[in-house]
Chains A and B, each alone.
Chain A
Amino acid sequence: MKLKRKSISYAKWGYVFILPFFLSFFVFSLIPLADTIRYSFYEYYRSGIKEIGPKFIGMENYISLLKSDMIRYAGNTLILWIIGFIPQIVIALLLASWFVDARLKIHGLQFFKVVIYLPNLIMASAFAMLFFTMFSTGGPINSILLSLGWIKTPIDFMGTVFGTRSLVGLMNFLMWFGNTTIMLMAAIMGISPDIFEASELDGCSSIQRFFYVTLPLIRPILAYTLITSIIGGLQMFDVPQILTNGQGTPDRTSMTLIMFLNSHLKSRNYGMAGSLSVYLFIVSGILCFFVYRMTNDNDPDGSKAAEKKNRKKGRR
């Protein structure tokens, strides 16, 4: 018997068990990721069934992207995201503060929580198909409005910039407000009840309580919601793609960045698509950095900042 085995380490088994993940991650994620970045410096696409390239062309893809309408599509993406996000966060805040308010005694709370989350369970593409059919010129919405006598001729919802963008915003709102509500509810429930009690004793109205107690205390979660939603919004694809048949009609005003990427992939233009992905990667990376800073807040109650301020004052 050797006496070398002083303690038994199980740690290595941990590594063995996570090995499959790292292997599959390496093969299916890391290598394609590296390839995407590599090909972004190449001219590489298909013409018919002939492959062109790969030929190294340096930054040319990046430059021609900047010269293209990319910035405009980024603007479209931002607008579409904002149209969906503003109602989403407002309604979610309102619902969350109602749902957790013990004094309101809402009946069937669990039922409502399920209902508002339901739209998120439908596949985005199926949801877009549904809206496409409902809001088409000969669709049910127009038939209802016509038979009610509210309109004389059918409204061409998807023929106008306003209509198309609103529909995309509405869909994103419907799909995500439930999710946000539940996240914000968790955040509000995480606030110590003592604080609410104290504010009530001091004669705080419910509106004051919301703006001066709840809102500041859930700020980190709000920021987290905002940033993750921006990152999700950057990748907005299926809803406008299905609704406009991949064309971003009318006049490419609902063409998002990922739809732009997708139209490059129709010709298997790996070079151009790669450099567009790298741009998106950089923007998402910057946003992730903010999330990281926020979730790893080393000054959660503001005491350090206050101390700093005091010191500054003291020095004066």
Chain B
Amino acid sequence: MKKKMVSILLTAAIIAGTLAGCGGKTDSASQTTEEGKVINIYCWNNEFRERVEAVYPEVKETSADGTVTTLNDGTEIHWIVNPNQDGVYQQKLDEALLNQADAAADDKIDIFLSETDYVNKYTDADADVAMPLADLGIDPDTDLADQYSFTKVTASDVNGVQRGSTWQCCPGLLVYRRDIAMDVFGTDDPEAVGEKVKDWDTLKATAAELKAKGYYTFASYADTFRLYGNSIDQPWVSPGETVIKVDQKIMNWINDSKEWLDAGYFDKNVKGQWNADWNQAMGSASKVFAFLFPAWGIDFTLSPNWDGGDGAWAVTNPPQEYNWGGSYVHACTGTDNPQHVKEIILAVTADKDNLLKISRDYTDFTNTQSGMQEAAADDKNFSSEFLGGQNAFKYFAPVAENIVIAPLSAYDQGCVELIQNTFGDYLQNQVDFDKAKSNFETAIKERYPEITEIQWPEQ
């Protein structure tokens, strides 16, 4: 009999083990205080945590592994980090958002972050996953008056209700190699070089000059995409429609890229961005003159890939004002910590002193118009070591003021990614133009099954 009991027990243990994953966490006595004890924040790296730690005065300490930050009143911030690559972050976030209504109070998402490429998916008025800031008690017109207005437009839904806020603003510049400028133009002065790249026609003439000396202007055709793609006049998909309208600016990018690539102004061995060849093009052995980057690109991409000393690169004005990237902070519908969420959003995205501190410590170009103007004039505190003491804010600030942000849609990420991929084949002479078009149509319908039609502009 004893044996029997033991074996039943064992079997039960095995079964229990197999099914353990299915059981939900048992909730410890749910408290009915006004604010929850746990603030859950979904994000994709440490960036936001570092900035909260730096400027939110209530922060007491963060655990060594960086997963829990304790506030002075005992509330814990739980950081739920999933990598952005391959859409992992969005997948995990989407799952959590779908379960938000049923989740226990302390498991609910309180804050989540999104990037410009897909911010529109989460600020959607029907989906209503990001709370309107007004519902939190933040008045965008007064509390966020100093922010750049295009960042406020980006974070708003179709009805103009702002559902997110950002601490950073990502105006892009042209970053160039001083030694190549010296060799080709006889000067490496940012003002003089800026004059040579001030618009597309001038830049094209400059590109021919660089070519004559054996240099490439940019690494790849993908480098210029954001300048065209982030200034389109109409959204990829208009609200409520299922038709993709390819903007004339995108066609311009394709045609210009073809022309530039065939003329040898791009390095044809570099195919697209974020790959080994592209990273190599930022090294000292490369023949590439310039890159188009916002502040984060210089810090996170160019600087780690550069193998020479500081001061080899300098920034100047781009041929066209553009914005690339930016992380938005959203309060999640159903949060049980609205007061803390409001405080955090205000501290990180609306307080001028805090934002200037972020700019100084993390070289972010931050979302405060007056602050950035001060920074542009303050060479002592805001010069960059990597740029050999140049004050990049002087060039960022005017770009930021002139940015006209493209109208967004929830389909931007897929459209941007797939148009570059499918027309990459065309630019490399693998397929003809019409084939590239039809490949884009196939690929985009796979990605977004609800898309019914793709309209191309007249050539």
Contact = CB atoms under 8 A, between A and B. Distances in A.
A50 B443 CA distance: 21
B11 A269 contact: no
Given A154-B269, A251-B431, A49 B127 contact: yes
A16 interface: yes
A220 interface: no
Given A20-B15, A49-B121, A138 B280 contact: yes
Interface string B107-132: 00000000000000110101101000
A115 interface: no
Interface stretch (A79-87, A184-192, A260-268, A284-292): A260-268
Given A20-B11, A160-B430, 11 more contacts: A16-B7, A20-B18, A47-B410, A47-B450, A49-B97, A68-B442, A136-B277, A137-B277, A156-B428, A247-B421, A272-B449
A266 B14 contact: no
Given A49-B124, A50-B126, A247-B421, A19 B277 contact: no
Contact of A136 (B14, B275, B430): B275
A49 B98 contact: yes
B1 interface: no
Contact of A49 (B94, B270, B431): B94
A269 B127 CA distance: 19
Contacts of A139: 276
6 contacts: A13-B7, A19-B15, A24-B18, A27-B19, A137-B271, A267-B448
A113 interface: no
8 nearest CB pairs, A to B: A137-B269, A250-B430, A48-B121, A20-B14, A48-B410, A24-B18, A263-B446, A251-B431
Contact of B277 (A50, A138, A161): A138
A283 interface: no
B60 interface: no
Nearest to B426: A251
A29 interface: no
Contacts, number: 98
Interface residues of A, number: 41
A269 B447 CA distance: 9
Nearest to A19: B11
Contacts of A69: 442
A294 to B, nearest CB: 35
B435 interface: yes
A251 B425 contact: yes
Nearest to B17: A20
Nearest to B13: A20
Contacts of B18: 20, 23-24, 27
B443 to A, nearest CB: 7
B206 interface: no
A159 interface: yes
Interface in A231-259: 245, 247, 249-252
Contacts of B149: none
Q: Is the interface of B mostly helix, strand, loop or mixed?
A: helix
A249 B121 contact: no
B276 A133 contact: yes
Contacts of B269: 137-138, 154, 156
A17 B11 contact: yes
A293 B250 CA distance: 57
A68 B277 CA distance: 34
A46 interface: yes
Contacts of B446: 260, 263-264, 266-267
A13 B6 CA distance: 12
Interface in B442-457: 442-443, 446-450
A146 B428 CA distance: 22
Contacts of B424: 249
Contact of B439 (A51, A154, A156, A252): A252
Contacts of A156: 269, 428
B24 interface: no
A16 B430 CA distance: 60
Given A46-B94, A49-B94, A250 B448 contact: no
B87 interface: yes
A45 interface: yes
Nearest to B410: A48
A45 B449 contact: yes
Contacts of A136: 275-277
A315 B304 CA distance: 86
A133 B448 CA distance: 31
Interface string A154-189: 101001110000000000000000000000000000
Given A23-B15, A48-B127, A267-B449, A159 B428 contact: yes
Given A49-B94, A49-B122, A49-B124, A251 B430 contact: yes
Interface-centre pick from A16, A159, A264 (highest chain B CB count, 10 A)? A159
A136 B277 CA distance: 7
Nearest to A45: B449
Contacts of B15: 19-20, 23
A185 to B, nearest CB: 38
Contacts of A144: none
A69 B430 CA distance: 19
A250 B7 contact: no
Contacts of A17: 11
A251 to B, nearest CB: 5
A27 to B, nearest CB: 7
B278 to A, nearest CB: 10
A138 B94 CA distance: 38
A151 interface: no
Nearest to B86: A246
B439 A251 contact: yes
B281 to A, nearest CB: 8
